[in-house]
Amino acid sequence: MTFRTLDQAQLAAKRALVRVDFNVPVKDGEVADDARLRCALPTINALRRAGAKTILISHFGRPKGKPIASMSLRPVTAPLAKLLGAPVAFAEDCVGPTAKTAVDAMKPGEVLLLENLRFHPGEEANDPNFARALAANGDLYIDDAFSAAHRAHASTVGVARLLPAFAGEDMRRELQALRAALDHPAHPVLGIVGGSKVSTKLDMLHNLILKLDRLAIGGGMANTFLFSQGWPVGASICEKDMADAARDIMAFADKHNCELLLPVDVVVAERAAPGAKARVCALGRLDDGERILDAGPETLQRLIAAIDEAKTLIWNGPLGVFEVPPFDKATVAAARRAAERVKAGKLVAVAGGGDTDAALRAAGVAGDFTFVSTAGGAFLQWMEGKTLPGVAALDNQLERKGR
């Protein structure tokens, strides 16, 4: 796949229509977590330095094609302006006369945020007329929202077919990191996949097994694998109806020479609550009312040994109930060991999806990994080996005619 980047664009005085992901948590009218705003800063600052007119477009929430005051993007403007150290204007609509008037008033170097794309049904329907209305406000299109790239919407696919299209800085970093980890990795390659359900990660597991040398299974989904082997799991989260699928995955891994690392001991308690009485338990020794809530110390040591031997690590999902100490120990210890290896120049570690970012931040090492994706569904679909519409829309831009 080829795609154009900002250094290949003529930006001075151009209207740059930038797809960002500002679907951030808002509490009492204020942004509670500005991580996604920070991800957009390299692209916005590059455009400002080049003298472009930066026009930001994003979705927020699920208003289902109608304006809803509580889902306005207006609360984003103040924290974004603070991060940029520059004013951020706001338009009450993303298309039509209101948007056009705001865009026409811009000067080179200025930043404008348009209202929620999903206030219009044409966004999620990838309606050509809505895409043309969006494109009317830009001279070029920049996609900096990998986290929305799995959606074939007007702002991720439609506009990219109407304007000269480029990958923003965060999109470029994301694609380069994922390619390095999945397409051309240094071996041995270790995967860590956690989370609660096997059923939601079947495609991912099959795709990863084809690329990995070792795959460690953790979290609630490990219980399903243990159950499929005949181990009792007490009151633990377990998809017992997925036992056959778990056995199929184990056979698939064996066929493709991917070593599966399953728990050999576990940490159990009757409830996942702070201060709950917990104990280390060998497989098969937990009581009926106990729940498996973390990997045990022997399992952790096996995983750390695998991290030490790996040159590439791909991580998705925690190893236990990391939000509730002491059931965060395995996730934190493994994350910190991986971070140490990255800082020593001995490991490329890429992580993302679901609770992974939160788990690594809780461990204090998110900034030490080679790359941590803030994307959810898009990261997971990439891990499943699927083509992302928003990424495909940027493909082979140099060879396309009529741009």
Report which secondary-structure segment, H or E, holds 102.
Answer: helix 96-104
Catalytic site residue from 197, 271, 285, 336: 197
Q: Decide: helix, strand or coil at residue 280.
A: strand
Q: Please say whether the dihedral angle defined by the alpha carbons of residues 180, 185, 191 and 193, taken in this order, is positive or negative.
A: positive
Catalytic site residue from 51, 61, 109, 377: 377
Rg (CA), the chain: 23
Question: In one letter, which amino acid is 250?
Answer: M
Report which secondary-structure segment, H or E, holds 16.
Answer: strand 15-19
Q: Within 10 A of 277 (CB to CB), how many other CB atoms are there?
A: 9
> Is 318 in contact with 218 (CB distance < 8 Å)?
yes
197 is catalytic: yes
> Is 204 in contact with 212 (CB distance < 8 Å)?
no
> Is 170 in contact with 144 (CB distance < 8 Å)?
yes
Angle at 190 between CA 319 and CA 367, to 5 degrees: 65
Question: In one letter, which amino acid is 266?
Answer: V
Report which secondary-structure segment, H or E, holds 378.
Answer: helix 377-383
The two three-digit tokens of residue 68, written as one number: 């809803």
Catalytic site residue from 36, 302, 337, 341: 36
Residue 43 CB burial class (10 angstroms; 0-12, 13-18, ≥19): buried
Instruction: Give CA–CA dist 143/153, Å, rounded.
Output: 12
Instruction: Give CA–CA dist 213/132, Å, rounded.
Output: 47
Q: Decide: helix, strand or coil at residue 313.
A: strand
36 is catalytic: yes
Half-sphere exposure of 65 (CA within 13 A, CB side): 10
Instruction: Give CA–CA dist 157/327, Å, rounded.
Output: 42
In angstroms, the Cα distances linking 285 to 146, 231, 289, 303 are 44, 9, 12, 22
The two three-digit tokens of residue 345, written as one number: 């120049």
Catalytic site residue from 219, 296, 354, 390: 354
Report which secondary-structure segment, H or E, holds 172.
Answer: helix 169-178
Listed residue (127, 128, 129, 133) closest to 114, CA to CA: 133
Q: Which residues are marked as active site?
A: 36, 197, 354, 377
